[in-house]
A and B are shown apart, each in its own frame.
Chain A
Amino acid sequence: KQEVTQIPAALSVPEGENLVLNCSFTDSAIYNLQWFRQDPGKGLTSLLLIQSSQREQTSGRLNASLDKSSGRSTLYIAASQPGDSATYLCAVRDDKIIFGKGTRLHILP
């Protein structure tokens, strides 16, 4: 049974720093992996989708990588800003879509 883990559950980082969020999964037979952000009380906003054949995807200051063999994905955020404060979730798709519980990120001004 696929399990998706995001560690740490919470992270505080000073503004301007680069940071990495982690997502690990137990079964490497996935079709794709998607990263989302969620602001308090709101829905999920899609950030990046990586297909199983891809190694990384980039959008602005965000870069997501995928290493299927090790069951890991990372979301790199460059030059963090207070507006990046949110909960970041990853989800993997095999025959179902399985979500991690997220990392709550706080960027300190």
Chain B
Amino acid sequence: DVKVTQSSRYLVKRTGEKVFLECVQDMDHENMFWYRQDPGLGLRLIYFSYDVKMKEKGDIPEGYSVSREKKERFSLILESASTNQTSMYLCASKMGGGEQFFGPGTRLTVL
């Protein structure tokens, strides 16, 4: 079974802090994704990556950056956290045209 893990289930940070969310997948998937999920807005794509050191902006990249130094790891970085970045963050991976597999999510609260 594919396993996608995220570094934290719950995280509380203060405004202005730099925040790292990490995601690791164990199935050698090329493609990895970061989404945020908010009530009434559904899932929105922040960034995705189709290979090591490659990244593409999604629909809402502002305020975020990403890093993919190794194939199995995709990190989401909030350079200076703001309260409007309080959300559920979901990481996913997939190979080519196959199924997309999600991690358990990180609920981030920015105070």
Q: CB within 8 Å of B: which residues of A?
A: 31-32, 34, 36, 41-46, 49, 51, 89, 91, 93, 96-97, 99-102
Interface pair B105/A42, CB less than 8 Å apart: yes
Complex Cα spacing A93 to B45, Å:
13
Task: Given A99-B42, A101-B42, check contact A31 B97 (CB 8 Å).
Answer: yes
Complex Cα spacing A43 to B33, Å:
13
How many A-B residue pairs have C-beta atoms within 8 angstroms? Tell me.
42
Interface pair B42/A100, CB less than 8 Å apart: yes
Q: Which residues on the B side are within 8 Å of A102 (C-beta)?
A: 42
The residue from A31, A43, A49, A89 contacting B99, defined by CB atoms under 8 A apart: A49
Interface pair B97/A96, CB less than 8 Å apart: no
Interface pair B97/A93, CB less than 8 Å apart: yes
Q: Which residues on the B side are within 8 Å of A46 (C-beta)?
A: 99-102
Interface pair A97/B105, CB less than 8 Å apart: no
How many B residues touch the partner, as a band?
Answer: 20 to 34
- Give chain B interface residues in 74-106, CB to chain A under 8 Å: 88, 90, 92, 97-105
Closest CB in chain A relative to B89 CB, distance in Å: 10
Q: Which residues on the A side are within 8 Å of B105 (C-beta)?
A: 41-43
Closest CB in chain A relative to B67 CB, distance in Å: 21
Interface pair B99/A34, CB less than 8 Å apart: yes
Interface pair B97/A51, CB less than 8 Å apart: yes
Q: Which residues on the B side are within 8 Å of A36 (C-beta)?
A: 102
Interface pair B99/A99, CB less than 8 Å apart: no
Closest CB in chain B relative to A100 CB, distance in Å: 7
